[in-house]
Amino acid sequence: MTDATLALPSRTPPVRQTSTMVFLASLAVFAVIVTILAQQGVISTSFVKTLGKTLCLCLAAVAMDVVWGYTGILSLGHMAFFGLGGYAIGMWLMYARTEALVAPGLAAQPIPPTPSELQDAIGSQIFGVVGSSDFPLIWMFADSLFLQMAMVVLVPGVLALVFGWLAFRSRVTGVYLSILTQAMTLALALYLFQNDSGLRGNNGLSGLQNIPGFEDAPQSAISLAFFWASAVALALGYLLFAWVVSGKMGSVLRAVRDDEARVRFLGYHVESFKLFAFVLTAVVTGIAGALYYPQAGIINPAEIAPIASIYLAVWVAIGGRGRLYGAAIGAAFVSLLSSWFTGGGAPDIDLGVYTVRWTDWWLVLLGLSFVAVTLFAPKGIGGLVDLLTEKRRPERQGDYGPDKGAKRSEEGVE
Amino acid sequence: MHRILIAILAVLTLIPVAGRAQDLQTILQLHTEEVENPGRRSVGVVIEDLIAARLPAVPVFLTHWQDREIVLNAEDGQFYALVDEDGDTATIRNLDTGDESEVAGDSLTEVRPNGGVRREIAAALVRFQLSDENPANRRAALDAIARRPDADQIAPLTASIEDEQDAAIRADKDRLLNILTARYGETTEARVEAIERLGGSITSDARAALSQILEAEDRVSAEAPDGNIAQVYTPGDQISRTEAYGRLVDAELAPAPVSGGAIRDALIANIDGGMVLDIPVELLDTDAQRRAAYDRLAQAGRVPPFVTQDRIDAALDSHSFYAVYEEEDAAVTDAARATLRSVETQVSLNQTADLALDAISLASIYFLAAIGLAITFGVMGVINMAHGEFIMMGAYTGYVVQQIVPDYTWSLIIALPLAFVVAGAAGIAMERLIIRHLYHRPLETLLATFGVSIALQQLAKNIFGTQARPLTSPDWLSGQMVINELVSISYIRIAIFVLAGLFLALLLFILKRTRLGLEVRAVTQNPGMAASMGIDPDRINMATFGLGSGIAGIAGVAIGLYAQVTSEMGANYIVQSFMTVVVGGVGNVWGTLAGASLIGVLQKGIESLNPSNTLAAQTYMILFIIIFIQFRPRGIVALKGRAAGA
Amino acid sequence: MRLLEVDGVSVTFDGFRAINNLSLSMGEPELRAVIGPNGAGKTTFMDIVTGKTRPDSGRVIWGEENRNLIGLSESSIARAGIGRKFQKPTVFEDQTVRENLAMALKARRDPFAVLFRRSDMPARLAELAEEIALTEHLTRKAGELSHGQKQWLEIGMLLAQEPRLLLVDEPAAGMTPAERTHTADLLKRLAQTRAVIVVEHDMEFVRRLECKVTVLHEGRVLAEGSLDHVTKNQDVIDVYLGR
């Protein structure tokens, strides 16, 4: 992919890589076009939100690509980090919003409320739905935007660190690791489903589209602002990961993917590198989630269910593993197509005896096309790019690379 | 009821009894005054006479009498049963003949026995019922007594035991009498003896009797505790000081502490021109400020003062807190306490047994759900995300068969092999079409089979709809086996357990005793070597995949019988199945059994700690498994040596 | 001076004693050939020294500070200065020759150092590439190289690691006579500045190395000394040479 010779640095810095430049430029153009169309009223506010959410999903997919396509860890738990980021910011949004709602009522009382009275009023407003009124300990920082933003990074980060450390040090690899990450997600989702989890059980957090402090701003402006924030986050995340997977770090990560044991004999502490990739991607995924859920307006534990993480993997695979833009394209393509089909956008097909309603048949189509992609186009949509640029990769002889990264006769643990 | 009474009549008329010359009305007329206006003492004479008459109409009359349905007809001065009253006219029934007639309503006087009398009547009725010809009625009478035990029932119950012919009912009567004696016996000795006999019984009525004897009431008093003391509470020890003070307040022995709300209300009541005393209202936005303002109000005598800690301490010190048994006899309560303790030990043993049965049946389900996965994973290193959908397929096969074959037994007999064939065929098709091309790429297989999984799930939704479909079990499988009041297990779960056992045996047989098993094991342990020895891995893979998927289909029928059939049922089992395989150790039937047992026992065990929260139980179970894998990354039963392929 | 001391090491797999109270000592520099029939424990011996297999008993003492290597991870042992060359060339085929070499270069190995220190020491790289005659192929993917080139790349990676002890597994397997001579010369040259243990089957090749030979049999040392010395040992003749 590079034209490095001895005189040049081993790899071009990410900004100067063609794919990165093309990606960032397209993203910028796309953002500008969407902004203009939105202001002209050509596209609706809800569609701007859909696009903004899609950008967040792209960011999560890019992170997933780093951990799976580059490092070879098929994590079926990254959407858990996405959800945790959403919950972390959602707590502040809901607290501040509820505070804004109950404060005038309390202020109208004969005597001004004490801080604890205010707290109780907010608490019973938020937790009334689960039959409680006390703030659980985890809401300790909910009144501080700054601290909750720190939580967006810390909660997924620490969870990934602890889980990753436990999993990698016991050398759980391959399918086992995937199942373990899936178990982690499932445990988290089940925990959050409980009413006494402190996060409103299956009600989740809602009303997140109302941004405290911007009550007067129209949703059209807010949606554009979040769209831009998502675009910037995607751009920065893309740059960060492009930098990480370039140079020696990328080299080591891909080496870990292809032959973990050999990397160990080179003196690299494989577990540290896996943990690095796992935690970094978890944190970025958390940030993506924190941007996604204010646009979605609601988060509940179903968002963390294992299936969500599997879909993330599906997007990356369809887009093409081992290339960051592939992941982003896959996520955007599949999730937009999915909302088009399930939203009734696709026309029904009348076969005479039976009418194919895409709201019913879309998942069948997705499932089968996913099988087809895995079987016939392991490079995914990214493979098209190869065809277009006619950069034919020479046939490889080994069982290596992102497409065959999983191809190992040794599976499981060492 | 009437039919029974006629039966009694039939029997009673065969018994020649002296003095049975009268009819019922004659006896009643002898005691007109007592019947019309019965007193608790005087009614005994009537009842004795009625019982002595041994007339079949007597219990009918007693029932009516108790239910206040007896009327005195002023026209002929006779007693009748009131059948219906409609405006001015009423339908009445002759007590002896059963003939009905209509009379003017105002000629009737209702006979209204008071509560005490009705109890006497009830006791008399119980005597009839306890000696009833029909065992079912005798049991019903026993149940009625057990539901509402009463001291008065001791005598009739005792009287009825002697003639009881049915050994089982007699045992129940003895037991009930024992319970009644324990609670209402005449003497302390009799009661203590009865209580001690309850020691061997874990039935809920025996336990209820014991805990009712031990019912206690919390008290506070300025004096030393008296009465039959159950427990003495020391504030700050058995109960918190706050709670102790709360009890004092409730007993109106101490002033209530001033709460935050009370402070607020008092301040609001004392606002005068935006000020409380000389403090502006705006400043009262912290608890400290509010307390200070309240204190000043108290000093001004306008509100009650704060209750200081000293006063609370003094009040707590000068009172005693204790619980007193309602039963005054200490010997009885002591005996009851000792017995209850031993009963509780037995109860918890039995509950553990019940839990163990639950755990075993859950383990059987997990085993059935996971074993197919274990085979394909172990032999082929293939993780099949669509495994859950094969389970679903089996369940829907059962459902469809039931639609065609209405006899539940036959449909089950057809469904089991058919589910095996359908799911097995689907498995083989998937192996041929997809998995074959992805060998040695387990992660890709995982994703491709996931694609199959979502497609199949949606397909099932499109065909069968989203609502749950029932899979009805035949009659001989419904209901449950009751071992005792605490330990029971439904026949379906027993059947699943048997099914799991059969498959364990079958698989062990196939793997250890057949040519296929030999080849499968060869491929598991060393695929390359197996291939070079002429074993066709394609054939083996197909066979194993068919077998694994087929068993999933059968598991689906089994699961569908006790849960419902939905398109998502497979997805609900898939993660647990993975856990079972991973925890148990891959490629080993015994490992899967161990994994299923561990997970089943663990889940039920954690659930029993907090039965209301099964979600938490699952959460903790998964956390346990994650940690378990840290210590035994290869599972419980690990393949060893080079065969493990690491 | 003594660099590595394997002391009374035993390991059992499922009741099979792969290594039985094995003791061996290496100086620095030194060239040593380890020979023995199949199942003698040669590979297991290398696995133990490199940390892949943990023995049931015994010690592996390393370096001036007498560190016990038992219990250390493979990567720590590699960083301590033990390099391993596998029988089958194992290079990262999806990466360029240059990337393969850069990864192996002696440098700090923790993730943050790898992330932030991005220079790959071009001069040293060029020197290495020269040595293994792959200067022309630096930007090619390793997977595209011929078998022999891959062998050389792996040797280059080993050199880049700058190990103090080199474990080489059957280097002569599948080589032409010319390549064998070349390889033997290279090993002898490497052993001038470091310790090299060559595990080999091929007696002809061992003879060329002109070094001390250790004969393993059933997991323990059967004989040790010059090739001529051990080939005269009756035990060795019985179990190995005289087969």
- Cβ-in-10-Å burial (0-12, 13-18, 19+) of A110 comes to middle
Distance from CA of B450 to the nearest CA of A (A): 7
- Which chains would you list as touching A if contact means 3+ CB atom pairs under 8 Å? B, C
Does residue C26 surpass a pLDDT of 60? Answer: yes
Query: Are the CB atoms for C200 and C87 separated by under 8 Å?
Result: no
- Provide φ and ψ at B637, rounded to 5°: -105, 95
CB spacing of B455 vs A180 below 8 angstroms: no
| pLDDT for the residue numbered B510 | 85
Q: Which residue of C has its CA nearest to A6?
A: C122
Mean pLDDT (chain B) is 82
Please name the amino acid found at residue A27.
L
| Token pair of A156 as six digits | 């997924």
Task: Give the pairing of strands C30-35 and C195-199.
Answer: parallel
CB atoms < 10 A from the CB of B464, how many? 17
Q: Which among A169, A191, A362 has CB closest to B619? A: A191
| pLDDT for the residue numbered B518 | 84
Distance from CA of C163 to the nearest CA of A (A): 10
Q: Give the mean pLDDT of B178-198.
A: 84
Query: Are the CB atoms for B617 and B606 separated by under 8 Å?
Result: yes
ipTM of the complex: 0.88
Distance from CA of C31 to the nearest CA of B (A): 31
Question: What string of DSSP letters covers B502-549?
Answer: HHHHHHHHHHHHSHHHHHHHHHHH-HHHHHHTT--HHHHHHHHHHHHH
Give CA–CA dist C199/C32, Å, rounded.
Answer: 8
Please name the amino acid found at residue C149.
Q
Q: Which domain holds residue B154?
A: 134-213
- Cβ-in-10-Å burial (0-12, 13-18, 19+) of A56 comes to buried
Nearest by Cα to B636 from B604, B608, B606, B601: B601
Instruction: Calculate ∠ Cα A206-A210-A212, nearest 5°.
Output: 115
- Tell whether A273 is within 8 A of chain C (Cβ): yes
Q: Give the mean pLDDT of C97-125.
A: 85
Q: Which spans in B252-329 are helix H?
A: 260-269, 287-299, 309-317
Does residue A407 surpass a pLDDT of 70? Answer: no
Residues in a beta bridge with B218: B323
Fold of C1-81+164-243: Rossmann fold (3.40.50)
Q: Which among C74, C94, C122 has CB closest to A401? A: C94
Residue B247 located in a structural domain:
yes
Does residue B638 surpass a pLDDT of 70? Answer: no
| pLDDT for the residue numbered B6 | 56
Q: Give the mean pLDDT of B436-465.
A: 87
How many residues make up chain C in this entry? 243
| pLDDT for the residue numbered B526 | 75
Tell me whether the omega of the peptide bond preceding residue C29 falls within 30 degrees of 0, making it cis: yes
More confident residue, A126 or B381: A126
The predicted-structure confidence for B525-580, as pLDDT tens digits, reads as follows 777 777 788 788 788 888 888 998 999 999 999 888 888 888 888 887 887 888 88
Does residue A353 surpass a pLDDT of 80? Answer: no
- Tell me how many residue pairs between chain A and chain B have CB atoms under 8 A apart: 182
Residues B266 and B367 in one domain: no
Give CA–CA dist B538/B521, Å, rounded.
Answer: 14
Distance from CA of A411 to the nearest CA of B (A): 7
Nearest by Cα to B34 from B91, B72, B76, B86: B72
CB spacing of C119 vs A9 below 8 angstroms: yes
Chain B positions contacting chain C at CB under 8 Å are 640-642
- Tell whether A226 is within 8 A of chain C (Cβ): no
| pLDDT for the residue numbered B1 | 53
Mean pLDDT (chain A) is 85
Q: Give the mean pLDDT of B217-225.
A: 83
Contacts of C139 in chain A (CB under 8 A): 2-5
Give CA–CA dist B166/B418, Å, rounded.
Answer: 49
- Tell whether A154 is within 8 A of chain B (Cβ): no
The predicted-structure confidence for C157-173, as pLDDT tens digits, reads as follows 988 988 999 998 888 77
Does residue B39 surpass a pLDDT of 80? Answer: no
Give CA–CA dist A306/A79, Å, rounded.
Answer: 8
Cα dist from B485 to A73, B45, B167, B204, whole Å: 52, 42, 20, 8
Cα dist from B288 to B279, B283, C217, whole Å: 13, 10, 86
Query: Are the CB atoms for B66 and B113 separated by under 8 Å?
Result: yes
Does residue C105 surpass a pLDDT of 80? Answer: yes
- Tell me how many residue pairs between chain B and chain C have CB atoms under 8 A apart: 6
| pLDDT for the residue numbered A327 | 93
Q: Which residue of A has its CA nearest to B260?
A: A117
B/e letters for B206-236, b = 16+ CB within 10 Å, e = fewer, are bbebbeebbebeebbeeeebebbbbeebebe
Query: Are the CB atoms for B439 and B425 separated by under 8 Å?
Result: no
CB spacing of B618 vs A187 below 8 angstroms: yes
Residues B311 and B372 in one domain: no
Give CA–CA dist A56/A331, Å, rounded.
Answer: 9
Residue A111 region by backbone torsions, left for phi larger than 0, else alpha for psi between -120 and 50, else beta? beta
Does residue A228 surpass a pLDDT of 90? Answer: yes
Residue B8 located in a structural domain:
yes
Give CA–CA dist A235/A227, Å, rounded.
Answer: 12
| Token pair of C203 as six digits | 């007696």
Q: How many domains does chain B have?
A: 4
| pLDDT for the residue numbered B117 | 81
CB spacing of A306 vs B646 below 8 angstroms: no
Contacts of A397 in chain C (CB under 8 A): 93, 143-144
CB spacing of A251 vs C102 below 8 angstroms: yes
Give CA–CA dist A74/A159, Å, rounded.
Answer: 17
- Which chains would you list as touching C if contact means 3+ CB atom pairs under 8 Å? A, B
The predicted-structure confidence for A78-121, as pLDDT tens digits, reads as follows 999 999 999 999 999 999 999 888 888 888 888 888 888 888 88
- Tell whether C207 is within 8 A of chain A (Cβ): no
- Provide φ and ψ at C189, rounded to 5°: -65, -45
Residue B370 located in a structural domain:
yes
Distance from CA of B624 to the nearest CA of A (A): 10
Q: Give the mean pLDDT of B308-335.
A: 86
Distance from CA of C57 to the nearest CA of A (A): 21
Give CA–CA dist C41/C62, Å, rounded.
Answer: 21
Contacts of B640 in chain C (CB under 8 A): 13-14
Residues in CB range of C146: below 8 A, 6 or more apart: none
Does residue B7 surpass a pLDDT of 70? Answer: no
Query: Are the CB atoms for B254 and B245 separated by under 8 Å?
Result: yes
Nearest by Cα to C33 from C207, C182, C173, C162: C207
List A residues 365-404 in contact with C (Cβ-Cβ < 8 A): 394, 396-398, 400-402
| pLDDT for the residue numbered B556 | 92
Residue B331 located in a structural domain:
no
CB spacing of A396 vs C74 below 8 angstroms: no
Does residue B640 surpass a pLDDT of 80? Answer: no
Q: Give the mean pLDDT of B16-41.
A: 71
- Provide φ and ψ at A44, rounded to 5°: -80, 165
Q: Give the mean pLDDT of C139-163.
A: 87
Cα dist from A176 to A179, A412, B383, B396, B621, whole Å: 5, 6, 10, 30, 17
Q: Which residue of A has its CA nearest to B631?
A: A170
- Residue that terminates a domain, selected from B122, B151, B185: B122
Q: Which among A112, A183, A193 has CB closest to B285? A: A112
Residue B295 located in a structural domain:
yes
Does residue B423 surpass a pLDDT of 50? Answer: yes
Distance from CA of C221 to the nearest CA of B (A): 24
Residue whose structure tokens are 């002591």? B334
Residues B617 and B509 in one domain: yes
CB atoms < 10 A from the CB of C242, how many? 8
Q: Give the mean pLDDT of C21-47.
A: 85
Distance from CA of A402 to the nearest CA of B (A): 11
CA A31 to chain centre: 19
The predicted-structure confidence for B134-168, as pLDDT tens digits, reads as follows 788 788 888 878 777 777 778 778 878 887 788 88
| pLDDT for the residue numbered B641 | 38
Q: Give the mean pLDDT of A36-44.
A: 90
> What dihedral do alpha carbons A255, A261, A263, A268 form, nearest 10°?
130
Please name the amino acid found at residue C162.
E
The 3-state secondary structure of chain C, one letter per residue = CEEEEEEEEEEEECCEEEEEEEEEEEECCEEEEEECCCCCCHHHHHHHHHCCCCCCEEEEEECCCCEECCCCCHHHHHHHCEEEECCCCCCCCCCEHHHHHHHHCCCCCCHHHHHHCCCCCHHHHHHHHHHCCCHHHCCCEHHHCCHHHHHHHHHHHHHHHCCCEEEEECCCCCCCHHHHHHHHHHHHHHCCCCEEEEECCCHHHHHHHCCEEEEEECCEEEEEEEHHHHHHCHHHHHHHHCC
Q: How confident is the model at residue B418 (pLDDT cuts 50, 70, 90)?
A: very high
Please name the amino acid found at residue A265.
F
Q: Which residue of A has its CA nearest to C46?
A: A265
Q: How confident is the model at residue B642 (pLDDT cuts 50, 70, 90)?
A: very low
Residue B193 located in a structural domain:
yes
More confident residue, A147 or B204: A147
Nearest by Cα to C94 from B194, A257, B217: A257
SS3 assignment, position B41: coil
| pLDDT for the residue numbered B422 | 95
- Tell whether A171 is within 8 A of chain B (Cβ): yes
The predicted-structure confidence for B56-75, as pLDDT tens digits, reads as follows 777 778 888 888 888 888 88
CB atoms < 10 A from the CB of B288, how many? 8
Query: Are the CB atoms for B582 and B635 separated by under 8 Å?
Result: yes
Residue in A248, A281, A409 to test binding to C, most C beta-carbons within 10 Å: A248
SS3 assignment, position A354: coil
Cα dist from B560 to B362, B391, B395, whole Å: 14, 9, 5
CB spacing of C92 vs A252 below 8 angstroms: no
Q: Dmax over Cα atoms in chain B, in whole Å? A: 111
Residue B255 located in a structural domain:
yes
| pLDDT for the residue numbered A161 | 96
- Residue that terminates a domain, selected from B122, B145, B163: B122
**pTM, rounded to two decimals:** 0.81
| pLDDT for the residue numbered B550 | 93
Does residue A10 surpass a pLDDT of 80? Answer: no
The predicted-structure confidence for C40-90, as pLDDT tens digits, reads as follows 788 888 888 988 888 888 889 998 888 888 888 889 999 989 998 887 778
Residue B498 located in a structural domain:
yes
| pLDDT for the residue numbered A411 | 36
The predicted-structure confidence for B259-307, as pLDDT tens digits, reads as follows 888 888 888 888 887 788 888 888 888 888 888 888 888 888 888 888 8
Residues B482 and B623 in one domain: yes
